[in-house]
Amino acid sequence: MIHPPNSFHLQRYPSTTNRSLKAWNASDEYMIDYLRSIQLPRTENLVIYNDHFGYLSLHLSDVEPSIVITKKSQEFAIRENAAKLSVDLKETQFKSPLESFDSEVNLAVIRLPKSMELFKHFLHQLSFSLTKDAIVVAGFMTRHFNKSMISIAEQYFEEAEQSLARKKSRLLIMKHPKKTITEFPVINNIPYTFPAGEQTEIKQYPGVFSSKRIDVATDLLIQHLNIQDDDMKILDLASGNGVIASAVQYQKPEATIHLMDDSVLAVESSKMNLRNGEVYFHTTPSLTDINEKNFDLIVSNPPFHFEHENTIEITLRLFNEVHAALKAAGRFVLVANTHLNYSTHLKRIFNSVHQIASSNKYEIIQAVK
Ligand SMILES: C[S@@+](CC[C@H](N)C(=O)[O-])C[C@H]1O[C@@H](n2cnc3c(N)ncnc32)[C@H](O)[C@@H]1O
């Protein structure tokens, strides 16, 4: 059975002091209502995508859905909410966005992601397992409508229709899947030249930060990377496709390099870009999970967009974690949009903070513990 909307009261993990940020939205409620209103196949084989804090997973828990995890923070939040509300979720229900499903799928629900490339990746992954009569429902807030969601849906389905709006949300209902033969997963190749002239192609899966080119701010940080003789243990925080860690590796191949990112597809992408050596990959939203301390240097192009939400809270928590993970007098070097004014926040945490370079829009800040 599918529980009626709002049968479970969920919390955000990590919690937030911003009271406007909620653990679910009207499109989640709409998706659950819609599934309750239609004639479901007798043996549902259901897949959930991009469930932020567990609203979909918990309301659909009785049918033991597969839950595709693109961000480790989502998995933590779903597990926390399930445990708190005494809902049993099995280990085998959690799936990677890169694996194929063991059995046929006749129903899927998607909280539409901000990245249309990621939406396409979800449909692509599903396309190999959907039954002829499968229904895929994507929920979104009307203000986040994007024309390309329709054209993407039409690449994979004969029928893609929008519902009426309800509480400023809509559903995109997809039926009659087309046969797909394209190779999965898609890998994007981004040409890049490191400062000393080495040319490479950075590889990444869909939905990973800056998919068409290396980000301008990232490039600025790489141009100003100054690794010192005693920088032997180095972390790329929020590492994305790993291009910054890769630049570190070019400058200092003998260093121990750690990469950490919340996104599963980002970390899996970076594994294709780093060369052999002492390199460690961590998929997690928090430095406290990786159990590593005494870094000589931490470099970062830190996150400040979280899907459609802009909040500095997570970034500030990461700054505090960076301080705890550095050795005494260790350095944190980051790039940021100047308007974010990160120096003010960093000065409250670090001993000395100064700008080491800037362009018209971005600055590179060094904070010393
Ligand atoms: C601005 S991008 C930088 C990516 C990469 N370093 C680059 O320069 O191309 C920020 C990255 O932060 C990641 N991210 C978001 N929240 C995070 C968190 N709590 N912990 C670690 N990484 C996070 C995102 O997945 C994204 O890859």
Q: Is the CB of 268 under 6 A from ligand 1?
A: no
Residue 326 in domain: yes
Residue 57 in domain: yes
The answer to whether 175 touches 187, Cβ cutoff 8 Å, is no
Q: For residue 262, report the distance from its CA to the centre of ligand 1, in Å.
A: 7
Residue 21 in domain: no
Q: Is the CB of 346 under 6 A from ligand 1?
A: no
Name which residue sits closest to atom 25 of ligand 1, judged by CA: 263
Confidence of residue 180 (pLDDT cuts 50, 70, 90): confident
Domain boundary at 177, 198, 215, which?
A: 177
Q: How many residues does the chain have?
A: 369
In terms of pTM, does the model score above 0.95?
Answer: yes
Residues 121 and 218 reside in one and the same domain = no
Residue 162 in domain: yes
- In this prediction, residue 111 carries a pLDDT of 97
Least reliable range by pLDDT among 16-25, 37-46, 167-176:
37-46
Residues 171 and 205 reside in one and the same domain = no
Say whether 368 sits in a helix, a strand or coil: strand
- In this prediction, residue 18 carries a pLDDT of 81
Q: What domain count does the chain have?
A: 2
Domain boundary at 177, 207, 231, which?
A: 177
Report pLDDT digits (tens) over 119-128: 999 999 999 9
Average pLDDT over residues 14-37: 90
DSSP string, 152-174: HHHHHEEEEEE---BTTEEEEEE
Q: Is the CB of 321 under 6 A from ligand 1?
A: no
Q: Is the CB of 204 under 6 A from ligand 1?
A: no
Residues 59 and 198 reside in one and the same domain = no
Rounded to an integer, what distance in angstroms lies between the CA atom of residue 14 and that of residue 63? Answer: 27
Average pLDDT over residues 36-47: 82
Residues 61 and 199 reside in one and the same domain = no
- In this prediction, residue 317 carries a pLDDT of 95
Residues 206 and 85 reside in one and the same domain = no
- In this prediction, residue 22 carries a pLDDT of 87
Residues 306 and 171 reside in one and the same domain = no
Residues 319 and 195 reside in one and the same domain = yes
- In this prediction, residue 308 carries a pLDDT of 76
Residue 15 in domain: no
Residues 330 and 291 reside in one and the same domain = yes
Confidence of residue 208 (pLDDT cuts 50, 70, 90): very high
User: Which range marks the domain in which residue 122 is found?
Assistant: 26-177
Confidence of residue 41 (pLDDT cuts 50, 70, 90): low
Cis peptide bond prior to 14, omega within 30° of 0: yes
| Average pLDDT score, the chain | 95
Residues 301 and 347 reside in one and the same domain = yes
Residues 223 and 316 reside in one and the same domain = yes
CA dihedral 148, 152, 154, 157 (to 10 degrees): -150
- In this prediction, residue 42 carries a pLDDT of 66
Residues 173 and 215 reside in one and the same domain = no
Q: Is the CB of 23 under 6 A from ligand 1?
A: no
Residues 358 and 289 reside in one and the same domain = yes
Q: Is the CB of 215 under 6 A from ligand 1?
A: yes
Instruction: For residue 257, give the CATH number of its domain.
Output: 3.40.50.150
Report pLDDT digits (tens) over 225-260: 999 999 999 999 999 999 999 999 999 999 999 999
Q: For residue 315, report the distance from its CA to the centre of ligand 1, in Å.
A: 10
